[in-house]
Chains A and B, each alone.
Chain A
Amino acid sequence: MKKIKVLIVLLLSCLFIIGCANQRILERIGLVTLVGYDVAEENKVTATSVIRQINPELQSKVEVQSETESTSKGTRVKVDMKTSKKLAAGQMRVLLFGEDLAKKGIEEAIHTTMMNNEISTSIYLAVVKGSSKSLLEYPYKDVTDVGQHIYNLIDHNIKQQHTVSSTLHEVVRDNYSEVRNFALPILHKKGEFIEIDGVAFFSHGKMVGSLPAGDNFYILMMQDNFKESTLELVLDGESIDASKFQEKQLQIAVDSVKTKRSIKVVDPELNEFDLNIDFKCRLLEINSLVPINDPKLVEKMEKAVNQKIENEVSRILEYSQEINSDIYGFGEQYRAHVRGGKLTDQKWREKFREMKVNINVDVEIIRNGVFE
């Protein structure tokens, strides 16, 4: 009995003497859902935050605030002074970088974000063509919450494998890895809309190049095994039996069913790799005149698609070798399979530039819809 009394007294005294933890009641904080960083003069950064606030009258309101300071925390303090509610970054979902900043290097910003325990590692990163401030501050007609809009835009495109996956975790993983680089999707404001407009290649935290959105498919195909994503191809009309189909160009669309990608180190001495892509797809769209029930024709078409993909892949690979950004994992594979390679950052950069890749694409059309 006595013991329990002592316990209760102690517990209660703890309760009142030490007090309670810092409250962060949901509707009394401003939720930062998106932050965009831009370069400003004199080593300073401009941070633009999209803040969702709940007001009793307006139900919910989205505010865009931007401030310039030399550290990102400094900008947050400044923004805090302009908002009616305490800001909290725990619900942040997207981090944007202006193109100029990306070219200057985003390593510091990533490091700051990683250090903050409030922020999840599943947030998305992206580069903005132009400045993120102008992208965020524009009053879009159909978008009420620009933060959520951009998050959903990136999220569903990554899930559908229309663009490279760019969670903070993946970026950090590849950034600190010595043998791999990362890529981010590029966002672009086009009139009243925001669209994903390509892929930015990074090397050592700096943006070194970019490719248009049309190449996404091939990049993803080289990065990993993937499941969905649609490809539109323009084949040479001659690749198909000319007697039945006379036009010069044949446009088809295929949808990946199952794709297997594998990288093999053929010869570490000669710096030679095999890139095998086993592409099983289904036909979505084709000119109605083409008789797709003809096995020979299908085979021909497969070959043509093969050729086309091979060309594109080797073009993209050449480009990334030129800018020296290994976002595909050749280095990882090299390190995994070559013993005692002791691949350092510098060494791999040199090797990657000079490596030779044999691209083998094997396309197989396994389904063609319900109507021939």
Chain B
Amino acid sequence: MFRGPKKNVTNTNEQQNKKEPDKVPIPPSQTEFLSKLKETIHSPADLVVKYISETVTITFLDFLIDGKTLNEQILPTLEKVINTSPKVIKESLLIAEVDLVAELNQGILEMLIGAVLIHVEGHSELVIAKISSYQSRGLSAPENESQVIGSQVGFNENIATNISLIRRYITNPNLCNEKFTVGKDTRTSLSVLYIDGIAAEEHVNTVRQRISDLDILDLLDSAVLSELIDDNSISMFPQFLLTERPDRFCDGLLSGKVGIVVNGSSMAILCPYSFIEFFQSREDQNLRWPIATFIRLLRFSAILISIFFTPIYVAALTFHYEVIPQPLLVPLSESRAIVPFPPIVEALVLELIIELLREAGARLPTKVGQTIGIVGGIVLGTAAVQAGITSNILIIIIALCALSSFTTPNYLMGNVIRILRFPVIILAGFWGFLGIMLAFCFIMIHLLRQSSLGAPYMAPIYPPRWKDWSDSFVRLPLPLIRRQSVNSRETHTIQNTNDSFAKEEKVIE
């Protein structure tokens, strides 16, 4: 609802916008100015009005500005200049960002971001001194994307901090930063970042266009933005990456992706992103290649285990008892002997329990969450087996599946992998292996149909770009890898990087 897809809501909103004339002249009289100001912003409690002299008045919103600068810079300066014009004030203020504004609404907007408005009696211009200060938390380690080796810093909610972090990683004049403001009610500022010459022009254009086409009321988080501007919002697969790691973000920018940083959100968006890349971690680059390769293969097999292991159990026990080898037959059937439900119900119940545990653990404070995990896992599991509701072999399988689903480095993708299991289990319970294959084919076709910013989602597997396979399922030694370039990076720069590798090698020789 708040995204405003309903037409009448947006219409009235547009009308309001139109009614409100863009330009309200600033009343030269002090009292008139103040009353108009208060009327526009509904005289909030944090509005501070200070009369410096008879002619000069300053207004600002408390807590939004830097009090130190105000006291040490602005107030003394204003004391000195009496009976003067806004122009003189602007010139005498020793602050980086000072502006003159002849329009009230713009001034108010600036004040809402954190500026001091200086009004001089008899002048229809305002001096705005931007001395905003953010109350933001300090930089901390990324919690959702932790890694053992590599930098331990994550984005925070402040766009300025985030962009400064990125600029510290990439010192490059070609790093472009385009600012947008989205959301009629929130006016959230966001930045589109890309490196000119590396990022494909069409991708940047698409992002620009999609953002400017947005017609929404509010935007509070980058996750919402990513769902709003990706290619297929109906699909359960995320098409853009959300990351809280500046190194991963910069890695993406350097390989030609377009990044979006949203104010107020500690997750930045990277696009276009392909399916395979969701299962790669920044850490893979930091490990030696055989280890990184092993871990990647482990992750990919974990996807398969996570989605298909429980369904295979259900299918084999419900329809295909022939495929169970003789040594397994007796333990399997004995463990199932007192279970009153068919395997599909048994599996669904257990999977639900696991999901409940996970959700409860995620909602509770960290310390309590761990306790819940242990209590739920051990107590419920053991009790369920002893009560004869589930078989102990299934418990092992379910635990294995849950474990596998947590190996996915990306939280959003990990969720997809976990939820995807449920329809597959149901299909397996109805039509055995045939149902599993139906699900498999359906997922395959679905993935093939997706795109990310118009680039194929399954690249580099399909369409096959053999050269990029060196950094997909496996990670070969760095000199053998083209700079990670799935779906992006224009061709001429690729040659450049190859040349640079060649040069390096020559130097070594």
Contact = CB atoms under 8 A, between A and B. Distances in A.
Is there a contact between chains A and B in the complex with CB atoms less than 8 Å apart? yes
Interface of A: 1, 4, 15, 20-27, 29, 31, 52, 54-56, 59-60, 88, 90-91, 93, 118, 120, 148, 151
B146 to A, nearest CB: 37
Contact of A55 (B326, B337, B339, B431): B337
B319 A60 contact: no
B94 interface: no
Contact of A54 (B336, B343, B434): B336
B318 interface: yes
Given A15-B430, A91-B326, A151-B326, A21 B319 contact: yes
B330 A23 contact: no
Nearest to B332: A26
Contact of A24 (B321, B339, B429): B321
29 contacts: A4-B234, A15-B430, A20-B430, A21-B431, A22-B319, A23-B318, A23-B319, A23-B342, A25-B317, A25-B318, A25-B342, A26-B321, A26-B336, A27-B336, A27-B339, A31-B329, A54-B333, A54-B337, A56-B338, A60-B334, A88-B321, A90-B322, A91-B321, A91-B322, A91-B326, A91-B329, A93-B326, A120-B322, A148-B326
B324 interface: yes
Given A55-B337, A90-B322, 14 more contacts: A1-B234, A15-B430, A20-B429, A22-B319, A23-B319, A25-B317, A26-B317, A26-B321, A26-B336, A27-B333, A27-B336, A60-B334, A60-B337, A93-B326
A21 B315 CA distance: 11
Contacts of A88: 321
Given A25-B342, A25-B343, A91-B329, A20 B321 contact: no
A28 B248 CA distance: 53
Contacts of A27: 333, 336-337, 339
B342 to A, nearest CB: 6
B324 A26 contact: yes
B390 to A, nearest CB: 13
Interface in B213-247: 234
A22 B319 CA distance: 7
Contacts of B319: 21-24
B432 interface: yes
Contact of B337 (A24, A59, A148, A151): A59
A8 to B, nearest CB: 11
A59 B334 contact: yes
A26 B322 contact: no
A351 to B, nearest CB: 42
B318 A24 contact: yes
A15 B344 CA distance: 15
A55 B324 CA distance: 19
Contacts of A24: 318-319, 321
Contact of B333 (A1, A26, A120, A148): A26
A359 to B, nearest CB: 40
A90 B432 contact: no
Contacts of A21: 319, 430-432, 434
A118 to B, nearest CB: 7
A145 to B, nearest CB: 9
Contacts of A22: 319
A120 B324 CA distance: 12
Contacts of B430: 15, 20-21
Contacts of A1: 234
8 pairs of A and B residues whose beta carbons are closest in the complex? A90-B322, A20-B430, A56-B338, A27-B336, A54-B333, A54-B337, A26-B317, A27-B333
Interface string B308-334: 000000001111011010100110111
A27 B336 CA distance: 7
A55 B337 CA distance: 6
| Most interface-central of A20, A25, A60 (chain B CB within 10 A) | A25
A1 B432 CA distance: 29
Contacts of B329: 31, 91
B320 to A, nearest CB: 8
Contacts of A29: 321
A90 B342 contact: no
A21 B429 CA distance: 9
A77 to B, nearest CB: 20
B336 A31 contact: no
Given A21-B319, A90-B322, A54 B334 contact: yes
Contacts of A56: 337-338
A181 B166 CA distance: 80
Contacts of A25: 317-318, 342-343
Contacts of B318: 23-25
Contacts of A151: 326
Contacts of A148: 326
A26 B334 CA distance: 10
Contacts of B337: 27, 54-56, 59-60
B348 to A, nearest CB: 15
A111 B334 CA distance: 34
Nearest to A23: B318
A25 B428 CA distance: 13
Contacts of A15: 430
| Most interface-central of B326, B429, B431 (chain A CB within 10 A) | B326
A26 B343 CA distance: 9
A4 B429 CA distance: 23
Interface in B415-452: 429-432, 434
A60 B330 contact: yes
Contacts of A60: 330, 333-334, 337
Nearest to B340: A56
Nearest to B337: A54
A55 B338 CA distance: 8
A90 B321 CA distance: 7
A1 B234 CA distance: 8
A21 B435 CA distance: 10
| Most interface-central of B326, B336, B337, B432 (chain A CB within 10 A) | B337
Nearest to A93: B326
Contacts of B343: 25
Nearest to B329: A91
Nearest to A117: B322
Nearest to A119: B322
A193 to B, nearest CB: 22
B444 to A, nearest CB: 16
B392 to A, nearest CB: 14
| Most interface-central of B318, B333, B429 (chain A CB within 10 A) | B333
A26 B342 CA distance: 10
| Most interface-central of A1, A22, A26, A93 (chain B CB within 10 A) | A26
